[in-house]
A and B are shown apart, each in its own frame.
Chain A
Amino acid sequence: EPEVTQTPSHQVTQMGQEVILRCVPISNHLYFYWYRQILGQKVEFLVSFYNNEISEKSEIFDDQFSVERPDGSNFTLKIRSTKLEDSAMYFCASVPEGHSYNEQFFGPGTRLTVL
């Protein structure tokens, strides 16, 4: 069964460094999402992406964040200058076209630790 994959599973970085989190959505899906969950808190929406552009973003998704689909298969989240409070589990999700109630297919997450 096709699945969403994410790499790496765990990333440790120093504050101020740039990180790129990678996702490979299911191949015929057209809508892509990033979420995060800070330890002990709720899963939070960051951004949605369709047709090679951002369709929605939350207030968390500020200028430090960017997303890209560089090659038609990978979907990346970049954090330009990480802060301690960016430490979280980051989930990618995808949705096929025509799925009107937005049921999401999630990856297993990347745990980001900022020191």
Chain B
Amino acid sequence: ILNVEQSPQSLHVQEGDSTNFTCSFPSSNFYALHWYRWETAKSPEALFVMTLNGDEKKKGRISATLNTKEGYSYLYIKGSQPEDSATYLCAFLPYNAGNMLTFGGGTRLMVKP
């Protein structure tokens, strides 16, 4: 059983604050790490697929970093807006393990106006 953990479980921030959260995953047998954004009553939507140690990806105010040697990824949101309120899921894909994604428990972000 693969252990993928996210912290914190939930986070309340004020509009304009910058924030970050963590996904930890097994440091061996790494193939890819996915980040998804899941708004209530909508489909989870892919934010980033990270594949190389040291990867940094950015989409607007959201960015992510990856450290495969120590088994963690950070997701950063700069200048949070109420529309960033969602659950952020990470999912680990090991090498040579077919297609099975293993998800973390998610971080639920609430941005207060």
Contacts and interface: CB of A to CB of B under 8 A. Distances in A.
A90 interface: no
B101 A102 contact: yes
A44 B89 CA distance: 12
Contact of B44 (A31, A42, A91): A91
Contacts of A91: 43-44
Interface in A9-52: 31, 33, 35, 41-45, 48
Given A43-B89, A107-B43, A109-B43, A102 B99 contact: yes
Interface of B: 4, 31-32, 34, 36, 41-46, 49, 51, 89, 91, 93, 98-106
A48 B100 contact: yes
Given A42-B105, A101-B93, A58 B49 contact: no
Given A33-B99, A58-B100, A101-B49, A108 B43 contact: yes
Nearest to A31: B99
A42 B91 CA distance: 10
Nearest to A41: B105
B45 A106 contact: yes
A103 interface: yes
A65 interface: no
A43 B99 contact: no
Residue from B36, B43, B45, B98 with most neighbouring chain A CB atoms (10 Å): B43
Residue from A56, A95, A101, A109 with most neighbouring chain B CB atoms (10 Å): A101
A107 B51 CA distance: 24
B43 A55 contact: no
B43 A3 contact: yes
